[in-house]
Structure 1
Amino acid sequence: MQLLRSLLADRDWSQDAVLLSRLQQALLLLRDPAASLDEATWLLVADETAHYLDFRRLRTLEAQLRGCTQDEVRYTRADWQAARTAEAALASHLRHVRFSSYAPEPVPMFRIH
């Protein structure tokens, strides 16, 4: 619940109005011990909190790279999405390099008799 509260309070982690409303309703239901969340809401909360944890990881990294605190750096959800795309491209490139080589394939020897 604390993570969900942090997610909802974070000014840099903006959501659309519908998503924000559903997450706020989920938080209210989680506070009530007699209430329960349906599977779709649990999945939404799980996905959103996992994304938020990754956002916080990358925001911390960005602040460290800039040599400032997290409060001093302006790092938004759009920045996080761009960084995730860049990380995926780098991971794909590294996989490609691991299984191939930058050097061209050796040409078979060609002889004329």
Structure 2
Amino acid sequence: MPLLNTVIPSPSTVPPPFDDARVQLLRSLLADRDWSQASVLRQPLQQALALLSAPGGGALDEATWLLVADETARYLDFRRLRNLEAQLRGCPPEALQYTRADWEAARMAEAALESHLRQVRLGSYAPEAVPMFRIH
């Protein structure tokens, strides 16, 4: 039984480019002057963006998807820390000179703080009690 009012796409219709939040984030990552990558990373990211932005959306291999996922996760953390640093300094994030090297140093500091807090939770600053020694 045929469906009424079915729409059959015309063969000349080209699907729009694949443009979702991930592609927008990848564009932002590549355009951000403070988030620099080595050319070894930048070139595959630009190629991935070109493939994803092409009409019909290209297919990326698993290694490229992993590279894009890792780099965008790092970039999101960079933006989080840049916004936090801007709030602490009382200026907009765009006015702050905050680079990838600053982000890496801040991540190391956060990891050290987290390790210290974990040690404090698991241990104590007070020395352990000495067992009682009694003479009968």
Q: TM-score, normalised by structure 2?
A: 0.80
Aligned residues, how many?
113
Equivalences for residues 11-26 of structure 1 within 5 A: 11-26=33-48
Asked if 1:53 corresponds to 2:76, the answer is yes
- What does 1:1-113 correspond to in 2, within 5 Å? 1-32=23-54, 33-113=56-136
Query: Cα deviations across residues 60-105 of structure 1 (Å, max 9, x unaligned)?
Result: 0000000111111110000001111111111111111111101010
C-alpha distance in 2, partners of 1:13/1:22?
16
Residue identity (%): 75
| C-alpha distance in 2 between matches for 1:65 and 1:34 | 41
Deviation of 1:34 (Å): 4.9
Task: Quickly say closer, same or farther: Cα 1:97–1:34, change in 2 above 3 A.
Answer: closer
Q: Distance in 1 between matches of 2:129 and 2:117?
A: 22
Moved more, 93-102 or 29-38: 29-38
* Cα separation, 2, equivalents of 1:82 and 1:35: 36
Residue identity matched to 1:66: R
Distance apart, 1:111 and its partner CA: 2.6
Tell me the CA shift for residue 112 of structure 1. 3.5
Give distance in 2, aligned partners of 1:106 and 1:45: 53
RMSD: 1.0
- Please report the TM-score for the alignment, with normalisation by the length of structure 1: 0.96
Moved over 3 A (4+): none
Higher Rg: 2
d(CA) in 2 for partners of 1:34, 1:74: 35
How far the C-alpha of 1:3 sits from its partner, in A, is 0.3
| Equivalent position SS for 2:94 | coil
The structure carrying a bigger helix percent of its residues is 1
Q: Structure 1 unaligned runs (5+)?
A: none
